[in-house]
Chain A
Amino acid sequence: MATRPSASSAADNLDLELRRGVVVLAVLSQLQTEQYGYSLKKALTDRGLEIDEGTLYPLLRRLESQGLLQSDWRMAEARPRRYYVISPEGRRVYETLSANWRALTRVIDELVQPVEVTDGTPGSV
């Protein structure tokens, strides 16, 4: 018999899924100018979006293989670094995703308005 995950672990998993959905948009937004992997992670963290290395770096490669990013190796501070930047195709996708995101957040904001409970009766507001 399958064991049901605890409420907190279910919340953690759902939070992870939620973030996974928006991380592509966040990455594309920060790669309008070229960055190497660690500088991108720092940029996202500095703006309040924590993404673990295990998610971010494989994602960069996947987006590159999908043609949304371009990369090249370059010598910087006496060692090679891979720099990523959004491609023309990635820019088009980014514009579409940004518009969808703005529309989606408007709808979701409406949906997740806090419900005011007045008398404790189930269903009452």
Chain B
Amino acid sequence: MEPQDLFERYLHAVGEQLPRRLREDVKAELRSLLTDMLEDRARQAERAPDMDLAVAVLREFGEPEAVAARYRPPAYLIGPELYPIFSLVIKIVLAVMTGFGALTVALALWRSEAPLAELGRTLWELGIQGAGLALMNLGLLVLIFAGLQRWGARDSADAPEAWNPLELPAVEDRDRVDRGSLISTLCFNLVLIVVLNFFPSLVAVFYLHDGTWGRFPLLAPEFLADQLPWFTAAWALEAGLYLAVLWRRRWTALTRWAEFGLSVLTGVVLGRALMGGEILIPAILTVFAKGVMVILLAVNVAEAIGQIYHLIGRFFAAPPAPLSPSHR
């Protein structure tokens, strides 16, 4: 084999990895450069160009993949400008899926009357379905963002000039304890537990008849017997968690996970009450109460999604740097 034949193999290997519009031009230029190098090396070695010199020249030039890569314009599936948004969307989607997944599993556990082995199989199937759904969503997101990268990514040179640094949002310290909010929720929960469990007859419509006070109880006996213990457990656990947080003076990863677990439990309790019997009497009030519970459940699901989103972010985040004096 002659040196030029080896060069042609090399040029073919480089050309295979170049865009078609560049290929022949780059190959022609490389052919010329390689020949110049070979002739120069032969002159220095005071001998005719041969295979050893050709091999040395190609080694110096570099592997075909590396050479082709230097001639190609930079190409990203998802570039550095879009990646932060992609990462944010992935976290939101994962949080939503985890939130709904946890609720689904909790409801499946609650409603299942099947033996334990059957329950295990159901959970396994739910897990497989969830993993498949997560992969499908991730793939879809990658496709969407790759499309945005290719056809819609904004050039950094087009960044708006009207950017105002004074509009930057304040830094949020998510682990700082809002004592007022925690204490008021804690008191409210304790009042609910005490009143509904020990003085349920106080939840009533009071009326004056012939100079004496009468009352018409509002809470349905069915609710007091079947649902109230679960609400009580959820409120008590929430009160316990808030007490622990107030004592620690700061939210931690553990208490945030406990908060998420409580949100799931609250969702299950609300869902159970929605699917259960009467809450208030007369029946028309139960319709109203269940309407309120639907809203509460929606808020609860949104909160759970937000909580798992931040927990996933916390999991992947680097350890926090020491706070600057203004943040202490």
Q: Is the CB of A91 closer than 8 A to any CB of chain B?
A: no
Binds B, one of A16-24, A51-59, A101-109: A51-59
The answer to whether the Cβ of B60 comes within 8 Å of any Cβ in the partner chain is yes
Interface string of A20-54 (1 = CB under 8 A from B): 00000000000000001111001000000000111
- Check A36–B32 contact: CB distance below 8 A: yes
> Interface segment, B61-69, B125-133, B137-145?
B61-69
Chain B residues with CB under 8 Å of A36's CB are: 32, 36
B29 is an interface residue with CB less than 8 A from chain A: yes
Per the CB 8 Å criterion, the residue count for chain B at the interface is 17
Q: Which of these, B29, B40, B66, contacts A57 with CB under 8 Å?
A: B29
Instruction: Kindly identify which residue among A54, A73, A82 contacts B67, using a CB–CB cutoff of 8 Å.
Output: A54
Does B146 touch A at the CB level, under 8 Å? no
- A residues near B124, Cβ cutoff 8 Å: none
Say if the beta carbon of B35 comes within 8 Å of chain A: yes
Interface residues on A, range: 10 to 19
Contact A82 B32 (CB under 8 A): yes
Chain B nearest Cβ from A54, distance in angstroms = 5
Q: Which of B66-91 contact A (CB under 8 A)?
A: 66-67, 70-71
**Interface membership of B33, Cβ < 8 A:** yes
Whether B35 lies near A82 (C-beta < 8 A) is no
Q: What are the interface flags for A72-107 relative to B under an 8 Å C-beta threshold, 1 for contact and 0 otherwise?
A: 010000011110000000000000000000000000
CB contacts under 8 Å to A, within B255-290, are: none
In the complex, B192 has a CB within 8 A of chain A: no
The reply to whether A80 and B28 contact each other, CB–CB distance below 8 Å, is yes
A37→B37 CA distance, assembly (Å)? 10
Of the candidates B32, B60, B61, B70, the one whose C-beta lies within 8 Å of that of A79 is: B32
B52-65 interface bits toward A, Cβ cutoff 8 Å, 1 = contact, 0 = none: 00000000111000
Would you give the shortest CB distance from B325 to chain A, in whole angstroms?
24
Residue of B with least CB distance to A60: B29
B62, A54: Cβ atoms under 8 Å?
yes
Chain A contacts for B26, CB-based, 8 A: 61
The proximity string for B residues 213-246 relative to A, scoring 1 for CB distances below 8 Å and 0 otherwise, is 0000000000000000000000000000000000
Given that A53-B61, A54-B61 are contacting pairs, would A37 and B32 also be in contact in the complex, using a CB cutoff of 8 Å? yes
Nearest CB of chain A from residue B37's CB, rounded to whole Å: 6
Can you list 7 pairs linking A and B with CB atoms under 8 Å apart? A36-B32, A38-B33, A53-B62, A57-B33, A80-B28, A82-B28, A82-B32
Given contacts A52-B62, A57-B30, A57-B33, 6 further A-B contacts (CB under 8 A): A37-B33, A53-B37, A54-B62, A54-B66, A57-B29, A81-B36
The 5 closest A-B pairs by CB, nearest first: A38-B36, A58-B70, A37-B33, A54-B70, A58-B71
